[in-house]
């Protein structure tokens, strides 16, 4: 049901609207009760039960597969659980899961014996909304690409290993962003789903750049200026998508589309050249495809929010 509500000003900067009385009665909304307000671009969603405040706990049993355990921990974190208890009949290898713990913002081990491990969210809730974290994730992925490009141009291949550590920070923000979406009651038939897909492709860009930095063939070769020029323009495309989403600069929409098409053509042509940098071109093609998906999903987010 769609209703219109008039905005009332209280004081110099506070704007308020009234809530429908029928909705308040149905959801037992009374004076003093807190509601959760979720930002979705230009829209707001009001939730009667603050999902972020709900503490969720789960108990799991560890067998012998450490890699499987790490995947389970990541997935439970993303789903929004606040406390995870691991029990086992054998010794739990805490040292083997420590690397994954670094990717879980706010999670710490609060109890540890040989056969029992309790992991809990000890972080205090922050006022930062999803949009702020999402913007930070995007900027970090963009900075990653720019630093890799700069090192390749200067032939400073020894720096690539250190630059690749940015991917770990991307993974951390990626996990936290997914967690925020799941805990905020996101609209997974609309903007929530579109944001989820966008985040997935941003994480893919980070993985592709990480693999590029680690590739021995890249680190032991001199990339041609022609191929580096393509990488330059991919970063320009990356920045254009950012402007479309965060600066609301839709004047660059046609430019982004034309640049993307030229980039795909340039990579295709470069593959045909003798002694071409095939490995580097392959990475750039994968990154460009991921950025194309990001552009598509972000534009669909805006259409969904404005429609």
pLDDT tens, 93-119?
Answer: 888 888 788 889 889 999 999 999 999
Query: What is the CATH number for 220?
Result: 1.20.58.220
Span 84-99, mean pLDDT? 89
Same domain, 70 and 163: no
Q: Is the pLDDT of residue 169 over 90?
A: yes
> pLDDT for 200-215, tens place per residue?
999 999 999 999 999 9
Same domain, 134 and 209: yes
pLDDT-derived band at 49 (thresholds 50, 70, 90) equals: low
CB 283 within 8 A of CB 208: yes
Instruction: Give the pTM.
Output: 0.78
Span 52-63, mean pLDDT? 79
SS3 label, residue 263: helix
Report pLDDT for 128: 66
Question: Percentage of the chain with pLDDT > 70?
Answer: 87
Judge whether 2 lies within some domain: no
Which tops the pLDDT comparison, 18 or 275? 18
Same domain, 293 and 144: yes
Which tops the pLDDT comparison, 166 or 245? 166
Span 1-21, mean pLDDT? 78
Same domain, 184 and 272: yes
Q: How deeply is 155 buried, as exposed, middle or buried, from its count of CB atoms within 10 A (0-12, 13-18, 19+)?
A: exposed
Rounded Cα–Cα distance for residues 204 and 286 (Å): 9
Same domain, 166 and 199: yes
**What is the separation of C-alpha 8 from the centre of its chain, rounded to a whole number of angstroms?**
36
Q: Is the pLDDT of residue 120 over 90?
A: yes
Same domain, 109 and 202: no
CB 119 within 8 A of CB 148: no
Residue 280's contacts (CB-CB under 8 Å, 6 or more residues apart) are 212, 218, 221, 223, 227, 231
Unique residue bearing structure tokens 């503490």: 55
Q: Which domain holds residue 152?
A: 130-306
CB 216 within 8 A of CB 176: no
Least confident of 145-154, 163-172, 217-226, 283-292: 217-226
What is the length of the chain? 307
């Amino acid at each position: 049901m769609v209703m219109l509500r008039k905005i009332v000003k209280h004081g110099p900067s506070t704007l308020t609207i009234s809530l429908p009385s029928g909705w308040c009665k149905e959801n037992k909304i009374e004076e003093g009760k807190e509601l959760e307000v979720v930002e979705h671009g230009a829209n707001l969603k009001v939730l009667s039960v603050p999902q972020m405040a709900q503490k969720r706990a789960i108990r799991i049993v560890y067998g012998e597969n450490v890699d499987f355990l790490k995947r389970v921990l990541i997935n439970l974190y993303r789903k929004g659980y606040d406390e995870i208890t691991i029990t086992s009949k054998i010794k739990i290898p805490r040292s083997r899961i420590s690397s994954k713990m670094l990717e879980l913002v706010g999670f710490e081990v609060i109890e540890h014996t040989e056969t029992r491990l309790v992991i809990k969210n000890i972080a205090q809730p922050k006022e930062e909304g999803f949009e702020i974290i999402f913007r930070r994730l995007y900027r970090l992925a963009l900075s990653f690409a720019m630093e890799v490009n700069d090192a390749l141009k200067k032939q400073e291949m020894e720096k690539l290993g250190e630059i690749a550590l940015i991917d770990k920070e991307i993974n951390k923000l990626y996990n936290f962003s997914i967690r925020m979406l799941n805990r905020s009651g996101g609209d997974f038939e609309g903007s929530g789903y579109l944001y989820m897909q966008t985040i997935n492709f941003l994480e893919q860009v980070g993985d592709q750049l990480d693999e590029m930095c680690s590739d021995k063939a890249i680190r032991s070769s001199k990339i041609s200026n022609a191929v580096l020029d393509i990488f330059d323009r991919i970063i320009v495309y990356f920045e254009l998508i950012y402007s479309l989403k965060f600066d609301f600069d839709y004047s660059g929409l046609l430019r982004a589309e034309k640049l993307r098409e030229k980039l795909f053509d340039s990579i295709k042509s470069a593959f045909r050249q003798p002694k071409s940098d095939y490995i580097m071109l392959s990475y750039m093609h994968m990154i460009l495809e991921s950025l194309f998906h990001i552009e598509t999903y972000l534009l669909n987010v805006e259409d969904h929010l404005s429609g």
